[in-house]
Each structure stands twice: as C-alpha cells, then as structure tokens.
C-alpha cells in the first residue's frame, strides 16, 4: 500500500513549504518549531531531494503509483522537488548578497589575486560542489590539523581547539570563533566547522573556544572568557602558528553577541579581571545570525548596542532573512546603530531564504559565507580599509 510513501512525501513537503515561507511573525525567541521543520531542507536540499527519490522509485517498482493514493503522493513529490529547486536557487543568491554587501562597505572590486576578476568573492563553488552535493557534513578535511582542548584558563569550560594548515606555516589572519546556543548550551566542536576548516585550509589559524554557560555563568562571565581567549591568542597563539597582529573575532547567534561586545569594550578593565593589561583588541568582527539584545537584567549593560563607539573595528554582519530564532529586524536595527556610531566599515548582508544557524554544514550558503569572511578580513585586517 502507498500510504507509507504518502506519509513520507507529506513530511518532506511540509518541511519544504515551511523552509520557503515560515508561518507567523518572526521575532526573537529561544526556540522555534518552525526552525526545526525548515532547517534541514534549507541547508541540505540536495540530500532531501535524493532521499525523496528513493521511496518514489520504490513506489514505482511496487506499482503503487498507479493507485489513487500513489498518484496523489507522486503529485506532492513533484511539487516538493519544485520547492527544493527554489530552495537551491535562494541558496545560490547568497553569494550575490554577500558580494553586494562588501562592495557597499569597502568599495567595488576586491583583491584580484585572491578573489579573482576584481570581485570580492569568487563567482561559484568550483571544486567544492562535490562536497556540497555528496557529503555536506562537517568533519576532518585534507590539509588541516586540529590541536584539541588547549587550556586558556583554569576551568573545564576554558578550553579551545586550534585549526591550522597541515605541513606549512599559516600565512593568513587568526580567527577566534565563539559558538551559539542561547548562552546555555553549545560546543566549540559544533559551530561553523565548515567555515573554520575552509579558512584553515586557506592558510588561516582558526580558534574555536568554549566559554562558561548559564545558568551557572552570569554576565559578564561569558564576556570575560571571550577576552581571556583573545589574550591567549595574543600571548600564546604564536607558539601554535597564530598571527597575533591580525585577529578577527567571529561568532554565531549568542557567540556573535559576545564577540561584538568584546570588540566594542576593548580596554575596559572591568571585563578583564586579573589580566587588565593584556591586549584583547581585534582587527575585525564577523557576526553570523547574531542576537544583539541584553543577556540579563542585572549587572553591567550586556547588549553590544550599549557599547557602540566611534572606535569600533570593521564589522561584517550576516543574517538570514527568514530567521525564526532571531528576527532579522533586530540585526537591521543593530547595524543601523553601529553605522551611526562607528567610523569604520560595516558590511551587512541578508541571505535570501536563510534561516538560523546557516553555518553548520557544507551548504551553498556556508561556502559563500566562508569566501566572504576571507575577502572581508584579508582586506580590513591588514589596515587597507
């Protein structure tokens, strides 16, 4: 009987519809059923399309497509494939959106030697299509080695992983990355792994750090940890191949909040207890799907918007226009306020059709974002912009 086939198609068809047009208002909230329905389809449409093809083929071999139920299921499957095609098309537009954002912030045309043809980011995926199509899951890749669980402080949460080119010296900037997780969960091993490994293969040294989490941690505990990571990179990083003269701070969701706040509070001793004299400045900030509101109601001001100043480093802010976890309006508001206060470039890109946490897989978007981060940081981190 084709009812199992119909049920499979209904599930994936519903997820595809939600990925294309999530229902309800998009506002900041700690979790969203819409996100979980849409996320896999949004970032892994090729695998979903292939997974849907298997039961369709089986139903055809079993003769179920000739039944009324099977015919309805087949029609829904065809509609779902069309929807998946639209998801892919939106994903391909990420590169255009990022290119336009960099051009607006830094001027037209990028470094020809690294980005090609005067564009800020390459026009396509090139040899990376195989990874995107066949195995988009994060994991070890050629040319990159990981040094795990290096200590930057005394606690069990004060550990970081360092990624660097295998077999050759790193010649790019150093990226310090903080994971998301609503300040309550998450791990240095999960966030933005495709981007970290891509940049390490390009010649960067990438650091992904854990930090203290709520409810045990109360702001500014998390911010102190971020600054301790930056101090470690400036002091101990060269022993592991990191360049302490070009440091880019990046984060996703809650991590974006923390790196933005750390960059905007440079030199404030209250957030560096015990290491007040250490250099925790950064040369650029990359915020992916960031939350920019307050963490709590007690203690010092905890929103990065509370610390805006003219001395802010260059920012690259990237947000999905269909984000149902952190509303895109919040990112727009933060960028507008940051641009009004800062004397440095602020690049802002909204990714068409993107939901939250678009950096977890080797997806079309994640590959484009990695290229944009490289183009942006390799320009501003050497003081050209």
Q: Which two tokens stand for residue 310?
A: 């003219």
Residue in 253, 266, 302, 303 annotated catalytic: 253
Torsion angle, CA of 54/55/57/58, rounded to 10 degrees? 120
Contact 289, 357 (CB under 8 A): yes
Rounded to 5 degrees, what are φ and ψ at 59? -65, -35
- pTM higher than the cut 0.95: no
Strand-pair partners of 251: 178, 287
Do 234 and 169 lie in one domain? The reply is yes
Do 116 and 87 lie in one domain? The reply is no
Residue 285 lies in a domain: yes
Show the domain range for 76.
3-92
**CA–CA separation, 164 vs 242, rounded Å?**
8
Contact 181, 357 (CB under 8 A): no
Cis (ω within 30 of 0) for the bond into 220? yes
Is the pLDDT score of 114 beyond 50?
A: no
Residue in 158, 356, 359, 363 annotated catalytic: 356
pLDDT at 297: 67
Do 141 and 255 lie in one domain? The reply is yes
Q: Please compute Rg for the chain using Cα positions.
A: 22
pLDDT band at residue 298 under the 50/70/90 scheme: confident
Is the pLDDT score of 115 beyond 50?
A: no
**CA–CA separation, 376 vs 286, rounded Å?**
9
Q: Is 253 a catalytic residue?
A: yes
Torsion angle, CA of 95/382/209/299, rounded to 10 degrees? -100
Do 253 and 115 lie in one domain? The reply is yes
Mind listing the pLDDT tens digit for each residue in 29-83?
A: 555 777 888 889 999 999 999 999 999 999 988 888 889 999 999 999 999 999 9
Do 213 and 77 lie in one domain? The reply is no
Strand-pair partners of 346: 315
Do 291 and 348 lie in one domain? The reply is yes
Which of 140-144, 353-357, 381-385 has the least mean pLDDT?
381-385
Higher pLDDT, 247 or 296: 247
**CA–CA separation, 299 vs 90, rounded Å?**
42
Contact 280, 240 (CB under 8 A): no
Domain end among 92, 123, 140: 92
Residue 98 lies in a domain: no
Do 115 and 88 lie in one domain? The reply is no
**CA–CA separation, 249 vs 254, rounded Å?**
13
Do 267 and 120 lie in one domain? The reply is yes
Q: In this structure, what CATH number is given to the domain that contains residue 127?
A: 3.40.50.1820
pLDDT at 118: 59
Which of 11-25, 278-292, 341-355 has the least mean pLDDT?
11-25
Domain end among 92, 126, 157: 92
**CA–CA separation, 222 vs 291, rounded Å?**
14
Strand-pair partners of 177: 208, 250
Report the 10 Å Cβ neighbour count for 308: 18
What's the distance, CA 53 to chain centroid? 30
Contact 76, 9 (CB under 8 A): yes
**CA–CA separation, 129 vs 58, rounded Å?**
28
Q: Which of 369, 361, 321, 287 is nearest to 135 (CA)?
A: 361
Characterize the bridge pairing of strands 205-209 and 159-165: antiparallel
Domain end among 59, 92, 125: 92
Do 180 and 221 lie in one domain? The reply is yes
Residue in 161, 210, 225, 323 annotated catalytic: 323
Do 143 and 19 lie in one domain? The reply is no
Residue for token pair 């003769």:
63
Higher pLDDT, 226 or 381: 226
Characterize the bridge pairing of strands 247-252 and 174-178: parallel
**CA–CA separation, 87 vs 41, rounded Å?**
8
Domain tally for the chain? 2
Mind listing the pLDDT tens digit for each residue in 361-371?
A: 999 999 999 99
Do 288 and 375 lie in one domain? The reply is yes
Do 198 and 65 lie in one domain? The reply is no
């Amino acid at each position: 009987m084709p009812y199992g086939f119909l049920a499979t198609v209904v599930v994936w068809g519903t997820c595809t519809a939600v990925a294309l047009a999530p229902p309800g208002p998009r506002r900041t909230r700690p979790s969203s059923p819409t996100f979980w329905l849409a996320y896999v389809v949004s970032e892994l449409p090729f695998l979903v399309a292939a997974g849907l093809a298997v039961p369709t083929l089986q139903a055809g071999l079993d003769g179920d497509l000739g039944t009324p139920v099977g015919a309805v299921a087949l029609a829904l499957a065809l509609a779902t494939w069309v929807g998946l095609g639209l998801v892919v098309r939106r994903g391909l537009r990420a590169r255009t959106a990022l290119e336009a954002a960099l051009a607006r912030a830094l001027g037209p045309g990028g470094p020809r030697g690294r980005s090609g043809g005067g564009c800020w980011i390459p026009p396509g995926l090139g040899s990376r299509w195989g990874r995107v199509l066949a195995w988009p899951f994060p994991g070890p890749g050629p040319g990159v080695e990981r040094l795990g669980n290096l200590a930057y402080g005394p606690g069990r949460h004060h550990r970081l992983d360092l990624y660097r080119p295998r077999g050759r010296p790193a010649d790019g900037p150093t990226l310090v990355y903080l994971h998301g997780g609503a300040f309550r969960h998450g791990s240095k091993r999960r966030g933005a792994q495709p981007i970290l490994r891509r940049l390490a293969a390009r010649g960067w040294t990438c650091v992904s750090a854990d930090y203290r989490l709520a409810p045990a941690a109360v702001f500014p505990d998390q911010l102190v940890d971020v600054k301790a990571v930056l101090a470690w990179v400036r002091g101990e990083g060269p022993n592991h191949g990191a360049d302490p003269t070009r440091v880019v701070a990046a984060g996703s969701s809650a991590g974006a909040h923390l790196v933005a706040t750390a960059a905007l509070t440079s030199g404030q001793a209250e957030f560096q207890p015990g290491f007040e004299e250490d250099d925790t400045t950064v040369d650029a900030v990359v915020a992916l799907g960031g939350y920019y509101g307050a963490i709590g109601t007690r203690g010092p001001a905890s929103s990065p918007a509370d610390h805006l100043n003219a001395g802010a480093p260059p920012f690259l802010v990237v947000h999905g226009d269909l984000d149902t976890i952190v509303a895109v309006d919040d990112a727009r508001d933060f960028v507008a306020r940051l641009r009004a206060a800062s004397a440095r470039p602020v690049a802002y890109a909204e990714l068409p059709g993107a939901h939250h946490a678009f950096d977890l897989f080797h997806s079309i978007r994640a590959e484009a974002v990695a290229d944009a981060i490289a183009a942006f940081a390799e320009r501003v981190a050497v003081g050209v912009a």
